[in-house]
Structure 1
Amino acid sequence: MMDRRAFLYGSGQTVLSAWLANYMSMTPQKAEAATLQAVGDGEELIAALTKLIPQLMREAAVPGLSIALVQDGKLRWQKAFGVKDTTSREPVDEHTAFEAASVSKTVFAYAVLKQCEKGVIGLDTPLDRYAPSPLPDADPRFGSITARHVLSHTTGFQNIRSGDEPLKIHFQPGSQFDYSGEGYWYLQSIVSRVAGHENPNDCGEYEAGVKICATDIDAFLKSNLLVPFGMKASGYVWNADLARRAAHPHDVTGKALAKSQPKATDAARYAAMGGLHTTSVDYAKFLIEVLDPKPADAYRLNQRNHDEMLTPQVKLKEGEKIDGADAWALGWAIQQRKTGDVILHSGGQSGFRSLTMGSVQRKSGFVMLTNSDNGGNVLFHPKLATALTPLLTK
């Protein structure tokens, strides 16, 4: 399971980082010229994407892709390309569900911050007050880990434990950045303990022999975020509806891979770090709530916590930068641009790649989901990045 869930620092991320570094280093005159050469953010953009995306998919052997654009706080456009499965040749449509991979973390982070707002857990309260340490050996540093550390990837935990590298704390929590799926798993286990239920009679064994028992995290996230936000086609546990709509994963040659069918135990391990199945339209509904929030209610953050979610918590050093980000907030990477911050998150696991970006200032952004290990070669292609720049830049 580790290979399926590990965050991938692949060629797609490298391409985007290089493109952004080049663009960000331009003189103001050159940057302006580059933007003027790009298409606009209205019908011109849609026409350009409709032509460009199939071309890039053919070049990269990516079977299927779904994209949704948000503009001025509204769903502007959605389009499905290609097929769910190269064996069946069934076309992707607006209802097709993809594995969001690590983009799942943004949704979980929002739900956690609402629990903090409600006082169920504290954003800066040591998590060991709610549950015992998951570490095999006592480490006094564990007592200082908070939800803020988890959401900003500053816990000190590695990304994913393994038999060769058991779960441990690698530095003083809060002192530096290191991307960690294990941190998100641990925070998910806290949420399940204090706001949900665990079934000790339904358990499984995962990386490094860790025992995970089923929880109601799927029902919790549906009732506390997915359904209130209109994301009724999204979820974490396999069912008949998802089986009808799911895109299948593919390797770099375009060969179909076996599709995972996550059980409740799988969701208990992976929901927060990468277990969301969603459509581009559904995820766009969530993105709209982030970019142009409605008034606070039982499910939506108040303004103070919304702003805190998008406030940089830790600066990224040169070797730490992922997807061209300069900092990490609570659940989101941040590109700090002169024209306004851009929030983003990418994801990658076996047979799926995903990317979302947005400008709070412009209330505009996008989400793209693919069913291929080559998806990054489309999502992070310089031509596509250039086309989408006007959507994120004033």
Structure 2
Amino acid sequence: MRRRKFLIESSRAAGLIPLAGWLKASPFDYKSRTSTDSMIADLKKLIPRLMRETIVPGLSIALVEDGELRWQQGFGVRNARSKEPVTPDTVFEAASVSKTVFAYAVLKLCEKGVIKLDTPLSQYAPKPFVTGDLQLKLISARHVLSHTTGLQNIRTEDEPLKIHFKPGTQFLYSGEGYYYLQSVIAHLMGREDRTNCSQYEAGLKVCATDFDTFMKRGVLQPFGMKSSSYLWNDTLTKNLAHPHDITGKLLPKTRPIKPDVARYGSMGGLLTTCSDYAHFLLEVLAPKPSDTFRLTKTYHDEMLRPQIKLKADEKIDGADAWALGWAIQQRKTGAVILHSGGQSGFRSLTMGSVNRQSGFVVLTNGDNGGKVIFHPEFATVLNPLLIG
């Protein structure tokens, strides 16, 4: 059975929740904006120290400010054994930060009329995603992207897939919801290869699709994400960051196959660089005019509009609400969009101020990466970038 180890940030077992909560805690004093040059100088000193203290082998970061890429740099190594250095072009697993890119592609399909945001996905699917539950007929793309489907994060043998509440009424972070939507889109837009299949959690059979090609044509290539993919290739492999455990030891790395991408691509399968992802973040924070690939203002605004408020015990990364593909922090200085990610050997975070058209993306290749990217000192240095 093929299975990737996903430590999705909604899971308390991932260990990111206590750290993520600091993003809105006292270290954020909302002091007056400092110069970006000063911020970069502080980061160049702070990041190597935090990496040493927390045993994080490699990190890549990019800052965008006022609608432009301001700075990018790599720190540490992409492989603890070979000591190859991290650069802005080093390819990391984005983990759940992948969801934002998929959400954008989905909304463009909604804009084009391929699917409708509020039409039940069961009307497009060739077979029921969950059997024996009439609530399946209520689940729409909006519910998936706002994590209100009622589906759990990942099915297991002990917890078979089920709908835990009426769709649209509550929040429950769900990788399975994203897989459901991805499978519907593959049915509508792609080609399934029934000769290339694998088994996953709870005996789930998944066959290869052209998801990688679909995402490259629809988002990655048009947005200048030249080094991003869902499948390995020779160029990507030369720049790949390798995963490491909490002791800094290399973890085994399995090359993803097409059924893996069909199962996990939308929820956490993006392979990208901080430079590439910064290009995508700029398309969200400082959108260019709508075209074949870019959203209209109506759909762009809907993507960033809060869809559901989060209760105190539901809050991820200090977010107050969830939009379509993005978590939202409602600050006095304006909304901040964000998403974190975590799976075996990788941790990631992106945040952005809609008002300032500024933000950052940071990717790490260690299980301790969250101890850097959610560290109070790291947050305090970066916070002025997000003040409107």
If the length of structure 2 is used for normalisation, what is the TM-score? 0.96
Q: 1:4 aligns to what?
A: 6
Aligned residue runs from structure 1 range 312-351, under 5 A: 312-351=306-345
Query: CA offsets per residue over residues 135-161 of structure 1, 9 Å max, x none?
Result: 2x3100000000000000000000000
- The one-letter amino acid paired with 1:122 is K
Q: Which residue of 1 aligns with 2:17?
A: 13
Question: Could you list the per-position Cα deviations for residues 302-332 of structure 1 after superposition, in whole angstroms to 9, with x for gaps in the alignment?
Answer: 0000000000000000000000000000000
Deviations 1:7-54 (A, max 9, x none): 344444312313513357xxxxxx45xx14xx7141001100011000
Q: Does the residue aligned with 2:74 lie in a helix, a strand or coil?
A: strand
Indicate whether 1:161 and 2:183 are aligned: no
Aligned length: 383
Which residue in the other structure is 1:48 paired with?
42
In 2, distance between residues paired with 1:12 and 1:4? Answer: 13
Q: 1:176 aligns with which of 161, 164, 170?
A: 170
* SS of residue matched to 1:176: coil
Aligned amino acid, residue 142 of structure 1:
L
Q: 301, 306, 325: which is aligned to 1:307?
A: 301
Distance 1:340 1:6, change over 3 A: closer
* 2:53 is the counterpart of 1:59: yes
The equivalences for 1:84-163 within 5 A come to 84-131=78-125, 132-135=127-130, 137-163=131-157
Cα distance in 2 for partners of 1:183, 1:375 equals 26
8 Å Cα contact 1:343-1:359 kept in structure 2: yes
Secondary structure of 1:183's partner?
A: helix
Q: Structure 1 residues 86-95 or 213-222, which shifts more?
A: 86-95
Asked if 1 retains the 8 angstrom alpha-carbon contact of 2:8 and 2:341, the reply is: no
CA distance in 1, matches of 2:25, 2:384: 17
The answer to whether residue 258 in structure 2 is matched with residue 258 in structure 1 is: no
Contact 1:12 1:381 in 2 (8 A): no
- Partner deviation per Cα, 1:276-315 (whole Å, 9 max, x = no partner): 0000000000000000000000000000000000000000
Question: Aligned to 2:198, what secondary structure does the other structure show?
Answer: strand
Matched with 1:215 is: 209
Residues 333-365 of structure 1, C-alpha deviations (whole Å, 9 max, x = no match): 000001000000000000000000000100000
The alignment partner of 2:334 has SS state of: coil
Secondary structure, counterpart of 1:213 in structure 2: strand
Gaps of 5+ in 2: none
Measure the CA separation in 2 of the matches of 1:385 and 1:12: 14
Q: Is the 8 A contact 1:41 1:391 kept in 2?
A: no
1:3 Cα deviation (Å)?
Answer: 3.1
| One-letter identity of the residue aligned with 1:14 | P
Residues 388 and 6 (structure 1), Cα distance of their counterparts in 2 relative to 1, 3 Å cut: closer
CA distance in 1, matches of 2:27, 2:59: 26
Residues 12, 379 of structure 1: 8 Å contact kept: no
CA distance in 1, matches of 2:69, 2:254: 30
In structure 2, the residue matched to 1:368 is 362
| Percent of residue pairs identical | 62
Q: How far 1:63 sits from its partner (Å)?
A: 0.2
2-side partners of 1:94 and 1:18: how far apart?
A: 27
Counterparts of 2:200 and 2:23, CA distance in 1: 37
Specify the SS of the correspondent of 1:243. helix
In 2, Cα distance between the equivalents of 1:13 and 1:344? 14
Please name the residue that 2:26 is paired with. Answer: 22
- CA distance in 2 between counterparts of 1:41 and 1:320 reads 35
CA contact (8 A) 2:143 2:149 kept: yes
**Distance in structure 2 (CA, Å) of the matches to 1:51 and 1:206:** 43
Q: CA deviation at 1:245?
A: 1.1
Deviation at 1:195, TM superposition (A): 1.1
1:345 alignment partner, SS class: strand
**Which of 234, 241, 244 is matched with 2:238 structurally?**
244
**What is the RMSD computed on CA atoms of the aligned residues?**
1.2
Question: Per the alignment, do residues 320 and 41 of structure 1 end up closer, same or farther by CA in structure 2, a change over 3 Å counting?
Answer: farther
SS in 1 for 2:248: coil
**Match in the other structure for 2:284:** 290
Question: Counterparts of 1:117 and 1:206 in 2: how far apart (Å)?
Answer: 33
Distance verdict in 2 for CA 1:231–1:284, change over 3 Å: same
Report the Cα offset of residue 372 of structure 1.
0.4
Contact in 2 for aligned 1:71/1:364 (Cα 8 Å)? yes
TM-score of the superposed pair, with normalisation by structure 1: 0.95
Structure 1 residue 246: deviation in Å?
Answer: 0.7
Task: Please show how residues 272-291 of structure 1 align to structure 2 within 5 Å.
Answer: 272-291=266-285
SS in 2 for 1:233: coil
Q: What is the distance in 1 between the residues matched to 2:20 and 2:137?
A: 37
Q: Secondary structure at the match of 1:341?
A: strand
What whole-Å deviation, never above 9, does each CA across 1:148-201 have from its counterpart, x for those lacking one?
000000000000000111111000000000000000000000111111111111
C-alpha separation in 1, matches of 2:245 and 2:111? 42
